[in-house]
């Protein structure tokens, strides 16, 4: 029997991610920066990932309408939930910190979305917040775990990205250690996200996704604020794309049988 694959593509504000699914496993992933031309990025990633074995394509994310070749568009809420539950079937909720929004999703017993919240009005509580702060500190986000090791968090009180940036500038001027400030920033965004997510009355294990989930410091800080077990996965940044591919497989396989 010929191999049948489905492709999920998640066009996020910062990165565009893709996953190929064979009905059992994720066989391949890909990622490109979204940049200033999201349409070009999603097209080029599609070309990279596509092969004649791809039977069905689902696009998601804020640029989901930009891929004409997609068989279906599904919102990032549904895809994230499905992808997270695929990566870890024991979870009951998803907290995602994306590049320009953050979301909390509550799942039912059957891993369907029962409720969700989205913060999409403001950069505070999103990946953008961290990006701006790390730039102000002149540090690389990739080095986050090492950079904040053994540090004492500085108190960052501003919720607003613009005000927090000037708060950091004045902390730097006072000679506060950069690592302390970075840890303060991590705590600030995790605290904010946890308070926001708890409006859904979360219980049980939480899946943490988005680009920041790959750093242990964000996972452990999130856990301490949520007071719930927080899981992540090496592929958590691909949760949306994986969910799209899984949904695509369910749709497409109906016509195969």
Partner 1 sequence: MELIKELPAIFAEFGEQRKNSFVRAFELKQQNIPFVGVFCSYFPDELAMAMGACTVGLCSTSDETIPEAEKDLPRNLCPLIKSSYGFAKTDKCPYFYFSDLIVGETTCDGKKKMYEYLGKFKPVYVMELPNSQSPEALELWKKEIIKLKNKLEEHFGLPITEEKVRKAVHLRNELRRALREFYQVMRLDPVPISGLELYNVLNGASFRFDKAQVTQEIREMTQRIYDEYKTAHKYTKGPRILITGCPLGGVAEKTIRAIEENGGHVVALENCGGAKTVDKLVDEDAEDIYDALARRYLDIGCSVMSPNPNRLDLLGRLVEEYKVDAVVEITLQACHTYNIETLGIKQFVNEQLHLPYMSMETDYSTSDAGQINTRMTAFLEML
Q: Which residues bind partner 1 (CB under 8 A)?
A: 62, 74-78, 101, 112-116, 118, 120-121
State which residue, 162 or 169, has the beta carbon closest to partner 1.
Answer: 162
φ/ψ of residue 128, rounded to 5: -60, -40
Write down the least CB distance from residue 237 to partner 1, Å.
20
Write down the least CB distance from residue 64 to partner 1, Å.
9
State which residue, 24 or 121, has the beta carbon closest to partner 1.
Answer: 121
Write down the least CB distance from residue 201 to partner 1, Å.
10
How far, in Å, CA of 36 to CA of 26, rounded? Answer: 29
Write down the least CB distance from residue 212 to partner 1, Å.
21
Residues 5/6/12/15 CA torsion (nearest 10 deg): 10
How far, in Å, CA of 62 to CA of 100, rounded? Answer: 10
Count, in order, helices (H) and strands (E) of the chain: 8, 10
How far, in Å, CA of 194 to CA of 196, rounded? Answer: 5
CB 45 within 8 A of CB 30: yes
Strands 26-33 and 15-21, by their bridges, are antiparallel
State which residue, 141 or 200, has the beta carbon closest to partner 1.
Answer: 200
State which residue, 31 or 114, has the beta carbon closest to partner 1.
Answer: 114
Write down the least CB distance from residue 77 to partner 1, Å.
4
Write down the least CB distance from residue 75 to partner 1, Å.
4
Closest CA to 61 of 251, 246, 241, 252: 241
State which residue, 196 or 218, has the beta carbon closest to partner 1.
Answer: 196
State which residue, 5 or 58, has the beta carbon closest to partner 1.
Answer: 58
- The burial class, CB within 10 Å (0-12 / 13-18 / 19+), for 59 is buried
CB 189 within 8 A of CB 144: no
């Amino acid at each position: 029997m010929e191999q049948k694959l489905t492709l999920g593509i998640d066009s996020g504000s910062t990165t565009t991610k893709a996953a190929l699914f064979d009905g059992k496993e994720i066989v391949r992933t890909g990622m490109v920066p979204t940049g200033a031309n999201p349409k070009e990025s999603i097209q080029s990633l599609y070309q990279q990932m596509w092969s004649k074995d791809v039977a069905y394509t689902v696009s998601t994310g804020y640029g989901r309408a930009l891929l004409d070749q997609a068989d279906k568009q599904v919102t990032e809420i549904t895809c994230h939930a499905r992808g997270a539950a695929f990566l870890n079937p024991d979870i009951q909720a998803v907290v995602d910190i994306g590049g320009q929004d953050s979301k909390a999703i509550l799942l039912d017993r059957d891993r369907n979305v029962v409720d969700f919240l989205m913060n999409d009005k403001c950069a505070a509580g999103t990946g953008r917040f961290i990006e701006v702060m790390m730039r102000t500190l002149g540090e690389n986000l990739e080095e986050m775990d090492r950079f904040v090791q053994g540090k004492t968090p500085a108190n960052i009180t501003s919720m607003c990205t613009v005000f927090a940036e000037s708060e950091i500038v004045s902390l730097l001027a006072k000679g506060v250690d950069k690592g302390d400030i970075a840890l303060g920033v991590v705590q600030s965004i995790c605290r904010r996200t946890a308070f926001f997510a708890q409006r859904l009355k979360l219980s049980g294990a939480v899946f943490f996704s988005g680009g920041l989930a790959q750093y242990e410091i964000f996972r452990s800080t999130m856990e301490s604020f949520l007071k719930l077990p927080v899981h992540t996965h090496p592929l958590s940044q691909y949760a949306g794309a994986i969910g799209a591919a899984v949904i695509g497989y369910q749709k497409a396989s109906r016509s195969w049988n």
